Amino acid sequence: MIFTKNETKICVPIAAHTFEEIKKEVNLANKYNADLIEWRFDYYTENKFSPENILKEIKSITDKSLIFTCRMYSEGGFIEIPDDIRKENIIKAIDSKLVEIIDVEMESKFAREIIEYAKKNNVLVIVSNHDFEKTPDKEDIVSRIHKMSDMKADIAKIAFMPKFSDDVLRLLLALSEGNKKFDIPIAAISMGKLGAVSRIAANVFGSCITFGSLNYSSAPGQLDADKLREIMNILT
């Protein structure tokens, strides 16, 4: 899958807790005009099957490109998973040859190692950074995007919580500046109800990915996937 600054792809997160729920969510995702599915492994609390087995099942019922994410707790993970276990599961996902993209946090201790390993295996890498409490200064956001670019990410993802409308504007200004300064495609999200405009107008502002939820939301402010494409089409 090719990501550019001129096209926004819609991703549906699968944030279900059991194997049966995951299958139901993937089947539901197939009904919507989404481009990607993100499986949030950190939400899978049943611990009944290995990630490889679940990935095989997911790929058997969908032809959509798949992102594998095992999110660190401090950046929005559902449960706290030790770093070595997170790293192990991301490597298993890469080795499975069933995922097109993996997500790793910029602040992960093993980020650079995972990026190198993924690239050797022809898997794209989203390097991400989240703050569920606040939105940094514009210069700080741009600096983080720069760091992700230097880390050889294929996509830079930034997601911050706004307290005021100015926070949303600051994120969008940083996205605009980042798109001008760096070659890397950027996914920029302002979370919560206040930041919803960044999701529905992602294609207007130059964000390469936006996220729409099904029965389970993986972040505050996600809109229903069935409405997201319709709204985005109206705006463009």
End-to-end CA distance of the chain: 22
Tokens representing residue 62 in the block: 């969908």
The catalytic residue positions are 130, 157
For residues 114 and 79, the answer to whether their CB atoms sit within 8 Å is: no
Residue 31 neighbours by CB under 8 Å, 6+ apart:
none
Describe the crossing of helices 138-150 and 165-181 by its angle, rounded to 10 degrees. 40
Length of the chain equals 236
Give me the sheet containing 36-40, strands edge to edge.
186-190, 155-160, 124-131, 101-105, 65-69, 36-40, 9-14, 209-213, 223-224
CB neighbourhood size of 157 (10 A)? 24
- Which of 190, 191, 163 is CA-nearest to residue 175? 190
